[in-house]
Structure 1
Amino acid sequence: MIPVSVYKGKDVALFGLGRTGISAAKALTAGGARVHAWDDNEVTREKAEAEGLTVSDINKMDWQKFSALVLSPGVPFKYPEPHRVVKMAQMVGVPVVGDMELFARAVAELPTHARPKIIGITGTNGKSTTTSLIGHILNKAGRDVRVGGNIGVGVLDLKAMNANSIYVLELSSYQLDLIDSLRCDVAVFLNVSPDHLDRHGGMQGYVAAKSRIFRNQTQADTAVIGVDDMRTQILCTRLAAENTRRVCPVSADMALGRGVSVLDGVLTDSLSGHAEASVDLSSARALPGQHNHQNAAAAYAACQALGLDASEIVDGLNTFPGLEHRLESVGMVGEVAFVNDSKATNAQAAEQALRAYPNAFWIAGGRAKDDGIDALEPHFENISKAYLIGDSMKEFSEVMKGKAKTQNCQTLDVAVTAAYRDALESGIKNPVILFSPACASFDQFKDFEARGHAFKNEVHAIQMDAKKKTKIA
């Protein structure tokens, strides 16, 4: 745990007792604050009490005594409208902060020579893979690295800081909206496409929230920016013109005169203005596809900024095991391969999967995002067949009508069985069954993890059945 003593001896309101809320309450208490924690959900409050927290109904308290409101990132801060506790705080001038801001203030309280290095990673897609990849590379190189934030362990639950430690933090737009003083030694912004727009008042607000990752950087710091979409290209140009930090563009779509790029599976380091290293990514088996090549380029640039040499970085790239539910190879039955990409909750993420596995037997569907799958139309002709499930089944079937073979399956088990049968009968060499839903999971599953595990259970059942048949034969 990282104790937060900035509010020592003061009263702090805290709203939202999920993972980050509980860790923030414990960190503040450890730092000497009087924490008044609340959540509207009774079950959640009971879980917090079981964790040893004292729950207080802040709705009935005098807000003028609070020095801050600590808000969990899932609670609306500005849009579609501020939550009532945010309004209460604003009425009496109580500042609203999140767990990342608490972490930043804990860092700022240390002497300059005792502060850790911080790498922050954001973007619409690829955050978790890039965060884990950077952490893996640094760990493999023998660095004292701690990985968390919006992935895995909450930032304040990570090990206490020292001067040699490196914190690699995934930062969501919700978390970034609540920071003020966080300074990243290396800030990575991968890409941007429409997502969570209701929480940011539209695309402009969403990009502005993501861009806060560069807040407080100095000439000593590095900004790593993916330039494969127009909005991040513009941002990269603006930051370079400001000349207030080192800017490293990365791309998996074009060669860069100065930056890190990947073309045809070969990574080129031209950060110095000419090619310093060339790396064949074919050995990095957990990083297939163009989007993962951008992740690899960003990880390379970030680790290079912290002083790792090319051989250390390449070793990390080649040994990275990948992340569960993100283009995860989950096994084969005969020549049929199964890929679990349950984390693909929007069309942009599914597009990367379809690029990585053309001619796949594609399982898709769930609770559709506002933009649906219209953007995937250029890839429909490269799909062997689509197996549609969930609430979006009829909508997606209409979109794909006349453009690709489809089958309405409604449930995942039916889709996996049908896709496996068709893959066996297709005559295609090494066919791939790709589960990349392009949708949220909440129509049939608790979350994308539960959905991914359900897919893997279906694959396991097919594998066991195939083994039994082999033994009988």
Structure 2
Amino acid sequence: MTPSTTFAGRTVALFGLGGSGLATALSLKAGAARVIACDDNPARMEAARQQGIETGDLRQAEWTSVAALVLAPGVPLTHPAPHWTVDLAKAAGVPVIGDIELFCRERAATSPAAPFVAITGTNGKSTTTALIAHVLAAAGCDVQMGGNIGTAILSLEPPSPDRVHVIELSSFQIDLTPSLAPTIGVLLNLSPDHLDRHGDMAHYAAIKERLVAGAAHAVVGVDDAWCRAIAGRRKGPLTRIHVGDAGEGPGILARDGIVIDGRRAPAEPVADLSGIGSLRGAHNWQNAAIAYAVASELGVTPDAFAAALATFPGLPHRMEEVGRRGTVLFINDSKATNADSTEKALSAFRRVHWILGGKPKEGGITSLAPYFPRVAHAYLIGAATETFAATLDGQVPFSRCGTLAAAVTEAAAAAAQDGAGEPVVLLSPACASYDQFRSFEDRGDQFRHLVTALPGLRIPGA
């Protein structure tokens, strides 16, 4: 745990007692602050009380004595409307912050030289965060990984000069972190997402930009217009990441599965991703190039970086290889909850039996039309079935399967009869999961269970 000592002796209001909220309350208490914690869920309030955390109704709080409101990142700060606690705090002139801000203040107060790598973007954050942490750990670093990827930041060990924190940040978390100033700030890419929480794309991009604007060194993928503009405004040290071509200015290039360091002449290949199943596709070339930029900045040699890539296991539900049956490869990409994410998966394979659907997002799958020639057959599930059927009609053969179980059964049988060299049964839904599943993890776990039950399946590493 990292005790939050910067509010010692003061009263802090906290709303949201999920995993990160509970860790935050315990951190503040360990740092000698008085915490008044609140949640709309009575069971969470009781769980907090069982751990010795003071709880109360913040509607009745004496806000003039409160030093800060710590808000869980899932609670609306501005859009579609501020949460009632935000209104109360602002009326009293109380700052509204999050757990990442508490970490940043602790680092500034106790160990400002502690290495802190912060990663954001629309897609690929978790894989890139895990890859950076893996490379640094393989190089012998003491690495603490967390944030949006799963482990609450204040549950990690405290910052110190010989310990690297590798932290994934969502736009919600950045919005609650006014003093964000990482050693290395990473921005992968930007496309429309969470606009219900940020109002419009310009506001969303501005929040993301804050992560690299405050960084001592910035690493920015410049393959989309929003990120190119952000890189152009950057005043301090900057490494540009390009996929496919050299782009503007020197940087690190990922081309045809090769990571190339173009910051020196002649440009130097540093890693070959071919044959690394956990890093398939051009989006993972970008992830690897960004990981190299960060690792090299922290002293990892090209040889050590290349060796670490070969042992990267990947993350569940993100282009995860579940197994093979005959020539058929089964891929779990349940994390692909929008069309932009699914594009990365479709672009990685030449012959796809595509399972898709769920709770649809704005824009549907019309943007994926250039990849339809790669799709042998589509298997539709969930609430998006009829919308997606209308888009695919006349372009891709499809079946209305309804359930994931029916889709896996039909796709596995069809792929087994496919004459292609390596047909792929791909779960990449381009949809949220909440119509049929608890989460994208639940959806991916059920896909994995269904696939591993198929007779004759060979599982990687088994």
Verify the 8 A CA contact 1:251 1:294 in the aligned structure 2.
yes
Tell me the amino acid that sits aligned with residue 233 of structure 1. R
Aligned with 1:32: secondary structure? coil
Tell me the amino acid that sits aligned with residue 217 of structure 2. T
Q: In structure 1, what is the equivalent of residue 161 of structure 2? A: 163
Verify the 8 A CA contact 2:219 2:240 in the aligned structure 1.
yes
Q: In structure 2, what is the equivalent of residue 277 of structure 1? A: 269
Tell me the amino acid that sits aligned with residue 231 of structure 1. W
Verify the 8 A CA contact 1:255 1:263 in the aligned structure 2.
no
Tell me the amino acid that sits aligned with residue 168 of structure 1. V
- Segment drifting more, 160-169 vs 86-95: 160-169
Aligned with 2:110: secondary structure? coil
Correspondences of 1:239-258 after superposition (within 5 Å): 239=234, 242=235, 245-256=236-247, 258=250
- For residue 426 of structure 2, the aligned residue among 429, 434, 442 is 434
Verify the 8 A CA contact 2:119 2:167 in the aligned structure 1.
yes
Q: In structure 1, what is the equivalent of residue 296 of structure 2? A: 304
Q: In structure 1, what is the equivalent of residue 370 of structure 2? A: 378
Instruction: Say if 2:191 is the partner of 1:193.
Output: yes
Tell me the amino acid that sits aligned with residue 164 of structure 1. D
Give me the whole-angstrom Cα distance separating, in 2, the residues matched to 1:161 and 1:228.
33
- For residue 352 of structure 1, the aligned residue among 344, 354, 358 is 344
Q: In structure 2, what is the equivalent of residue 461 of structure 1? A: 453
Correspondences of 1:16-55 after superposition (within 5 Å): 16-55=16-55
1:267 is displaced (CA, Å) by 1.3
Instruction: Say if 2:226 is the partner of 1:237.
Output: no
Aligned with 2:36: secondary structure? strand
Tell me the amino acid that sits aligned with residue 442 of structure 1. Y
Verify the 8 A CA contact 1:384 1:405 in the aligned structure 2.
yes
Question: TM-score scaled to structure 1, two decimals?
Answer: 0.94
Verify the 8 A CA contact 2:352 2:425 in the aligned structure 1.
yes
Give CA deviations for 1:285-326 in whole Å, capped at 9, x if unaligned: 310000000000111111111121111111111211111110
Runs of 4+ in 1 over 6 A off after TM superposition: none
- Segment drifting more, 255-264 vs 85-94: 255-264
Verify the 8 A CA contact 2:272 2:306 in the aligned structure 1.
no
Give me the whole-angstrom Cα distance separating, in 2, the residues matched to 1:451 and 1:52.
35
Tell me the amino acid that sits aligned with residue 208 of structure 1. A
Give me the whole-angstrom Cα distance separating, in 2, the residues matched to 1:449 and 1:3.
31
- For residue 399 of structure 2, the aligned residue among 385, 398, 407 is 407
Give me the whole-angstrom Cα distance separating, in 2, the residues matched to 1:334 and 1:351.
26
Aligned with 2:425: secondary structure? strand
Give me the whole-angstrom Cα distance separating, in 2, the residues matched to 1:429 and 1:209.
45
Q: In structure 2, what is the equivalent of residue 470 of structure 1? A: none
Give me the whole-angstrom Cα distance separating, in 2, the residues matched to 1:49 and 1:430.
55
Verify the 8 A CA contact 2:349 2:374 in the aligned structure 1.
no
Question: TM-score scaled to structure 2, two decimals?
Answer: 0.96
1:284 is displaced (CA, Å) by 2.9
Shift in CA distance, 54/463, structure 1 to aligned 2, threshold 3 Å: farther
- Segment drifting more, 264-273 vs 74-83: 264-273
Q: In structure 2, what is the equivalent of residue 424 of structure 1? A: 416
Gapped runs of 5+ residues in structure 1? 468-473
Verify the 8 A CA contact 1:258 1:274 in the aligned structure 2.
no
CA RMSD of aligned residues (A): 1.4
Verify the 8 A CA contact 2:270 2:303 in the aligned structure 1.
no
Give me the whole-angstrom Cα distance separating, in 1, the residues matched to 2:360 and 2:266.
44
Instruction: Say if 2:318 is the partner of 1:326.
Output: yes
Tell me the amino acid that sits aligned with residue 353 of structure 1. A
Give me the whole-angstrom Cα distance separating, in 2, the residues matched to 1:61 and 1:231.
42
1:251 is displaced (CA, Å) by 1.7
Overall identity of the aligned pairs, in %: 45
Q: In structure 2, what is the equivalent of residue 78 of structure 1? A: 78
Instruction: Say if 2:178 is the partner of 1:180.
Output: yes
Give me the whole-angstrom Cα distance separating, in 2, the residues matched to 1:167 and 1:283.
29
Tell me the amino acid that sits aligned with residue 450 of structure 1. D
- Segment drifting more, 189-198 vs 268-277: 268-277
Instruction: Say if 2:8 is the partner of 1:8.
Output: yes
Gapped runs of 5+ residues in structure 2? none
Verify the 8 A CA contact 2:270 2:302 in the aligned structure 1.
no
Verify the 8 A CA contact 2:355 2:427 in the aligned structure 1.
yes
1:283 is displaced (CA, Å) by 4.1
Give me the whole-angstrom Cα distance separating, in 1, the residues matched to 2:309 and 2:246.
20
Q: In structure 2, what is the equivalent of residue 134 of structure 1? A: 132
Aligned with 2:329: secondary structure? strand
